[in-house]
Chain A
Amino acid sequence: MLMALAAAAVSGFLLPLVGGFIVPRRLSLLGDSSSHFAFAAIAVGALLGVSGVFLAYVFVIVGVFVVLRLVRVLGVSGDQALAVVLAFGAALASLAISRGARVSLGSVLFGSLLAVDVVDLSAGALVAVSAAVFIARNFGSLLLYTLSDELARARGVDTRLYEFLLAVVAGLAVAVSVRVAGVLLVTAVMVVPVMAASLLSTSFRRFLGLAVLFGELGLFLGVLLSFPLNMAPGASSVFVLLGILGVSAALHRAGLRI
């Protein structure tokens, strides 16, 4: 239980923090495509008898690279490229399972409290600290990049580099969170807190802070509720997050801004 709560703390911090930059750029599907690549990694890892976690890091970075190349080289839109990669990840996972990979589908798709170990947690904490330092040191450039690729480039920001680094961080965030939140639900932890926070915030810093607060609240309560409700932690977290979104929308309509 403590391991699951610690994992919830890491994911609740990391996913909304990165989502704060990814979602406004309309790249929310990056979470889904990364989670499906992580799913493929877990299935292939089970088939080959190697750690699915580290394989997931490699897979999501490859997936992110493929998405960005598709956008740049073929000129397809971001959501089209992400949809292609998402489908490929799911197909790869299906192939591995049909070849005999033993995967607990319920745990992988909807999250599990028992799936987290010390190695996962350490890797997640490392990614979270790295992401926080990266964002803090490059806040102004990242803000301009989030607003407009063109505005940022005109100010001398290397937007390709930022795009790649953000996408890699987002992919890794999903890879470290997929065990506790589940393949199908992990993106919700990246997107829903960001949506709720944007309704109530008057600045980007407060927006990121609120998103992280909502993410932590959603995953913590989700993990705690998953025991008495006897449901997967990913599912209970999503219910809590949707509740937070509903309350935020009501407060927004009432005129509350922070």
Chain B
Amino acid sequence: MGTAEPAVEFEDVTVSYVRGAPAIKDISFRVLEGELVFLLGPNGGGKTTVLRAVAGLVRPERGVVRVFGVDTRRFRERWRVGYLPQAASSLFEDLPVSVEEFLRSCRVVEDGLDPVEALELVGAEDPRGLLGRRVDSLSAGNVQKVLLAGALANKPGLLLLDEPTVYLDQRGVSALVELLERLRSEWGLTVIVATHDVSAVSTLANRVICVNRGALFDGSISELLGSESLCNIYGFHLYLVRHGH
């Protein structure tokens, strides 16, 4: 890990959707290749904006965002970044798109995953049976798996997940965590997960960056639990019990 290159770099980044009201302000941090980092913070704190800036969907008003060493304004190899947006399952409502069509449309590189491989990777039950199903006919948990499979279809080097645990039960969260750990070791995948679910983060011993407009904390989960940062971010005291997984 000591020789790992930065996968993502934020240098004094400010992003505003409305002039004079920055969604994130003067944020700086680095995520090294192979790291699993959680962005934690309240709703509206700017976690999604951080991910959107990495995905090249918003341009910084000030500062620079680099992905694999390239300014996102000039970054062309988008397939190297897998992105699972928030509440993406609603996109399929009333639209007749099959699982296979969606996964094929996500794959743009030759050596990417075919639909069955992608579904097997994310632990979907009966992947072949799922291929012909309409995405909007699946349960919310299965839609989330299909979307995750789509985000992984190009075997990306960087995966961005926005609130991925929303539709998952505890077993689903554990399976997701296991998958991310496996992909980190097998693919060298870098993962950034945005969540406001403090309890989900507390089950993992990884790096956490707390965001509420600015970056208020950057360190391990143990350090976070022992600091006043959670109280500063959420405005009230949180008491967390850590469980093994």
Contacts and interface: CB of A to CB of B under 8 A. Distances in A.
Interface in B104-120: 104-106, 108
A198 B98 contact: no
Interface in B55-103: 55-57, 76-79, 81, 83, 85, 88, 91-92, 94-98, 100-102
Given A154-B78, A155-B79, A144 B95 contact: no
Nearest to A140: B105
B219 interface: no
Contact of B96 (A141, A144, A156, A206): A206
B101 A24 contact: no
A151 interface: yes
Contact-size category for A:
20 to 34
Contacts, number: 77
A210 to B, nearest CB: 9
B134 A156 contact: no
B184 interface: no
B131 to A, nearest CB: 10
Nearest to B106: A155
A148 B85 contact: yes
Interface string A135-156: 0000111011011101101111
Given A150-B57, A155-B78, A203 B83 contact: no
B57 A203 contact: no
A155 B55 CA distance: 9
A147 B132 contact: no
B133 interface: yes
Nearest to A199: B96
Contacts of B134: 201-203, 257
Interface in A187-214: 197-198, 201-207
Contact of B97 (A143, A153, A197): A143
A201 B97 CA distance: 9
Given A150-B57, A155-B78, A202-B132, A144 B105 contact: yes
B90 to A, nearest CB: 10
Contacts of A141: 105
A154 B52 CA distance: 9
A204 B85 contact: no
B173 to A, nearest CB: 23
A204 B76 contact: no
30 contacts: A139-B105, A140-B104, A140-B105, A143-B97, A143-B101, A143-B102, A146-B95, A147-B95, A147-B102, A148-B85, A148-B91, A150-B52, A150-B85, A153-B57, A154-B57, A154-B83, A156-B79, A156-B108, A198-B94, A198-B95, A201-B96, A202-B134, A203-B96, A203-B100, A203-B132, A203-B134, A204-B98, A204-B101, A206-B96, A207-B96
Interface of A: 24, 139-141, 143-144, 146-148, 150-151, 153-156, 197-198, 201-207, 257
The 10 closest A-B pairs by CB, nearest first: A156-B78, A140-B105, A203-B98, A201-B96, A154-B83, A207-B96, A143-B105, A154-B55, A148-B91, A147-B91
